[in-house]
Amino acid sequence: MVGLGASVPDRCIWADGTPKRPDRIVWNLPAGKYSIATHHCSGCVICVYQVMRDFHHRPARRPEDNHRVNVLQNPVTLAVMTDDTTLALTGERTVPGIPEENYWFRRHEVAYEFILERCRGRDVLEAGSGEGYGANLLSTVAGSVTCVDYDESAVAHTRARYPHVRIEQGNLIDLPLPDASVDVVVNFQVIEHLWDQDKFIAECARVLRPGGELLISTPNRITFSPGRDTPLNPFHTRELSGAEMTELLVGGGFTVDRMLGVHHGPRLTQLDDKWGGSFIDAQIQRALSGEPWPTDLTADVAGITTADFSILEPDIDASLDLLAIARRS
Ligand SMILES: C[S@@+](CC[C@H](N)C(=O)[O-])C[C@H]1O[C@@H](n2cnc3c(N)ncnc32)[C@H](O)[C@@H]1O
């Protein structure tokens, strides 16, 4: 199981360096990426980069970020408990096997199931493989699967738990693969984390064989961060709408064959009604309250399966996540 707490920093600043009143930060996991999207000090660069550094035990990614990290005064203290076979839940990636995380896990997993047959017999790169469960599933049908992720603990975990999956630690904007070496690139719930999305798309075009497919899923900005064009989630750099995703792909030399959306199916719609209009908000509220979850909420979350989501073409702006199927021209 996972428990996580953070102390209050002694000063907070906005991105332009002006002071910000320190808010209380509460990280109550598991609640997937949403717990981060709603943390209390979202505008503060110190909080954001402190969390990034302490979660990942690595320097920040841009020279200006290193400067920000160096001015930190009061490191957040974190405690993450997990067993040997479960990758610690940090908010940056979902993991299987944690009942309270199950809604987010299944919402990610459904995209892998949807594209499984497209990968049959093909050489697949999973760009940003996280815990490794998706690559494990793809490996049941693909000709070959290679994973790239830059997180040391995720890479070590994947190697230990899924030893048949080939994984390399690397940055997606500089893929450690030769030109024209794969048929499919799978990139699920990652592009919103990247500092240079255009460079990543260019790298996909480089490593794909002519006619190869790029499959991308990502939270739909319109429903994930309503009314905002800058993400609250400190792991996200830029979230996309369906139109913005299309523009990014076409600009990078891809043809978008299909733009699909992940939606709640009938049972999740019933759970939305049962939990006051939003099953997601009910989970967030309980996570942020610091109280133990009610037994029936835990049971409802633990009972979700991928069949409770629908993947549809119409009404893309109302979808929860986007799923783009694009082809290298
Ligand atoms: C939200 S997780 C998604 C993992 C997996 N695809 C899934 O759907 O469960 C995002 C992953 O991207 C990785 N990542 C983020 N930026 C990266 C980069 N620049 N290079 C390589 N991996 C990166 C993170 O370490 C993390 O494992």
The half-sphere exposure of 221 on its side-chain side, counting CA atoms within 13 A, is 19
Measured at the CA of 320, the angle between CA 262 and CA 231, to 5 degrees, comes to 140
- Rounded to the nearest angstrom, the distance between the alpha carbon of 59 and the centre of ligand 1 is 16
According to the per-residue pLDDT averaged within each range, which of 2-6, 30-34, 60-64, 257-261 is highest?
Answer: 257-261
What average pLDDT score do residues 263-279 get? 97
What average pLDDT score do residues 249-266 get? 98
pLDDT above 90 covers what percent of the chain?
A: 61
- Rounded to the nearest angstrom, the distance between the alpha carbon of 275 and the centre of ligand 1 is 31
Indicate if the pLDDT at residue 1 is higher than 50. Answer: no
Q: For 235, which DSSP code? A: T
Minimum-distance ligand 1 atom for the alpha carbon of 186 = 6
| Residue range 23-66, pLDDT digits in tens | 444 343 333 333 332 233 444 444 554 444 343 333 333 333 32
For a substitution probing ligand 1, which of 34, 168, 193, 199 has the most ligand atoms within 8 Å of its CB? 193
Ligand 1 atom 25, closest CA: 151
What average pLDDT score do residues 264-289 get? 91
pLDDT tier at 19 (50, 70, 90 boundaries)? low
What average pLDDT score do residues 83-106 get? 84
pTM > 0.85: yes or no: no
Beta carbon of 321 within 6 Å of any ligand 1 atom: no
Q: What is the pLDDT of residue 18?
A: 62
Instruction: Report the range of poorest mean pLDDT among 46-55, 106-115, 278-287, 305-314.
Output: 46-55
Ligand 1 atom 20, closest CA: 171
Instruction: Report the range of poorest mean pLDDT among 48-62, 209-223, 248-262.
Output: 48-62
The domains of the chain, with CATH numbers, are 99-264+308-328 (3.40.50.150)
- Average pLDDT taken over every residue of the chain: 80
What's the burial of 281, exposed, middle or buried (CB within 10 Å: 0-12/13-18/19+)?
middle
Give how far Cα 233 sits from Cα of 11, 151, 279, Å: 20, 18, 19
Q: For 8, which DSSP code? A: P
Q: What is the pLDDT of residue 127?
A: 98
- Rounded to the nearest angstrom, the distance between the alpha carbon of 277 and the centre of ligand 1 is 31
Look at 184 and 55; give whichever has higher pLDDT. Answer: 184
SS3 (DSSP) at 59: coil
Q: What is the pLDDT of residue 283?
A: 87
- Rounded to the nearest angstrom, the distance between the alpha carbon of 93 and the centre of ligand 1 is 7
Tokens standing for residue 80: 């993450």
| Residue range 125-146, pLDDT digits in tens | 999 999 999 999 999 999 999 9
Beta carbon of 205 within 6 Å of any ligand 1 atom: no
Q: What is the pLDDT of residue 170?
A: 95
Look at 293 and 270; give whichever has higher pLDDT. Answer: 270
Contact 2, 82 (CB under 8 A): yes
Ligand 1 atom 13, closest CA: 128
Minimum-distance ligand 1 atom for the alpha carbon of 200 = 19
Give the whole-angstrom CA distance, residue 140 versus residue 155. 20
Ligand 1 atom 15, closest CA: 193
Contact 73, 45 (CB under 8 A): no
Q: What is the pLDDT of residue 287?
A: 74
Q: What is the pLDDT of residue 12?
A: 58
The residue written with tokens 């733009």 in the block is: 259
